[in-house]
Structure 1
Amino acid sequence: MARPSRAHERRADLVAAARRAVLDRGVLDLRLRDVAAEAGLSPGSVLYYFPTLTDLLREVQREAVDRFCGEREEAVRDEADPRRRLLAMIRSGLPSDPRDELCVLLYELGTVARRDASYAAQHIRLYERQVGIYAAILEAGAATGVFTLTRDAGSIARNLVALEDGYGLHITMAVPTIDVARAEGLLLACASDATGCDLSTLEPGDQRGDR
């Protein structure tokens, strides 16, 4: 009987090793040998499963995008109150602290998007998927009379995601210029202005979870 293929497991192990290497060295300084060393393999063995380092990093990015968006969808899925769904969405989009691994990974990989269309496509997918979650929450709140939107839901959603991205970068910089609590407060103020609903009075609970 032929042995079952372990290619899927090997590829998953290499994606995990590449993820750790990006977090340790940064994507711009990363070399194939760094990933190979992290995985305990030769560079040639890595190339057996991924033709180039770029191919491997694209898979790291795809997985990170899916995980990040999946966690955000999960954070709002069981909340019926549009106000609390919006609050949970805001809290789930910011780094938990300057070392938040998933957010840092996405920011690192996003630096390549300016020069590589395939990375840009994943970055756009990340953005649009988050915009879709926000827009659905805003539309539901408006339909039930909880929110009085100052603009269309899509425009508000795009602004909120862009603000999250900006504040997240400032939180995770080598010298942070803002902390999580302050960024959250600013986002809540923006969302409150856009919805005509004071979100700062809600008890947030713990929405972030572990990444």
Structure 2
Amino acid sequence: MAKADKKEIRRREIVAAAQAVAARDGAEGATLRAIAAEAGMAANAVLYYFGSHADIIAAAVQASSGRFLEKLAEAVDQSMTPTARLAAVISAGTTAGLDDDVSRILYEYWPHMLRDPEQRRIQDELTRAQEGVYREIIDAGTRSGEFAPLLDPAKIARTLVAQEDGLVMDVLAGSAGSEYVLDLMGSLAAALLGLEAETLLDLIAARGVPAAAT
């Protein structure tokens, strides 16, 4: 059992090294040699813990995806009204990972899903989970009478996630600021759900904007 524990600890260290290199040097820079050097290991030693470089990258992206979803969960208190929960998720979904490397890592590897089935599986699972978070809130708000959706709730959830994904990429690229993105996301959600935009935007603004990682 102790041996297994040590192996798992080492695997986590390698994953953390892969995340650090990808965030600093990009997906192309996260080679097996670079990850091994970051972890303070020889490349062949790294492969004792993971079968291949692709396995390491998949584990790093999966870990980043998991942390992103944790941040969404941490932002929401089930005692909140649906409108307040919507504001919390918009705020978290748009800024989660900007105060560390989570979002940057996910976006570094997003194009890889075009050719890599494992990366596609991870990204698809993340998207479905994000949609599920929005869908639950939309359904609750509809039941309570706070929301009057203009489209099928599943379509609204998918639209919000897609918009969020594109806008966060703009923030990471430096072509948009978080405040602008939050305003746009809040305005879109309010329009689709029959909410007063000012009410939702005030709740979003009250949560503040975390500083982006440098």
User: Percent identical across equivalent pairs?
Assistant: 29
In structure 2, the partner of 1:184 is 182
Give 1 or 2: higher helix fraction. Answer: 2
Q: Deviations over 1:142-200 (max 9, x none)?
A: 01101011011110000000000000011101xx2211100110111101101111243
Q: How does 1:1-211 map to 2 (within 5 A)?
A: 4-5=3-4, 6-95=6-95, 100-173=100-173, 176-201=174-199, 202-204=202-204, 205-206=206-207
Q: Deviations over 1:52-107 (max 9, x none)?
A: 11001111111111111121122123342011100101000113696741111110
Q: 1:145 to 1:98 in 2, by over 3 A?
A: closer
Q: Deviations over 1:2-30 (max 9, x none)?
A: 96441011101111111101111111232
Q: 1:130 to 1:52 in 2, by over 3 A?
A: same
Q: Is the 8 A contact 2:7 2:49 kept in 1?
A: yes
Q: 1:200 to 1:96 in 2, by over 3 A?
A: farther
- 1:110 shift after superposition: 1.1
Aligned equivalents of 2:75, 2:151: Cα separation in 1: 25
Aligned equivalents of 1:19, 1:97: Cα separation in 2: 13
TM-score, normalised by the number of residues in structure 1:
0.91
TM-score, normalised by the number of residues in structure 2:
0.90
Q: Which runs of 4+ in 1 moved over 4 A?
A: 96-100, 207-211
Aligned equivalents of 2:83, 2:62: Cα separation in 1: 30
What amino acid does structure 2 have at the position aligned with 1:130?
A: Q
Aligned equivalents of 2:97, 2:18: Cα separation in 1: 22
- 1:209 shift after superposition: 6.7
SS at match of 2:114: coil
Q: 1:171 to 1:181 in 2, by over 3 A?
A: same
Aligned equivalents of 1:48, 1:125: Cα separation in 2: 28
SS at match of 1:107: helix
Q: Is the 8 A contact 1:113 1:120 kept in 2?
A: yes
Question: Please, which runs of 5 or more residues in structure 2 have no aligned partner?
Answer: none
Name whichever of 75-84 and 45-54 sits farther off.
75-84
- 1:117 shift after superposition: 0.9
Q: Is the 8 A contact 1:97 1:171 kept in 2?
A: no
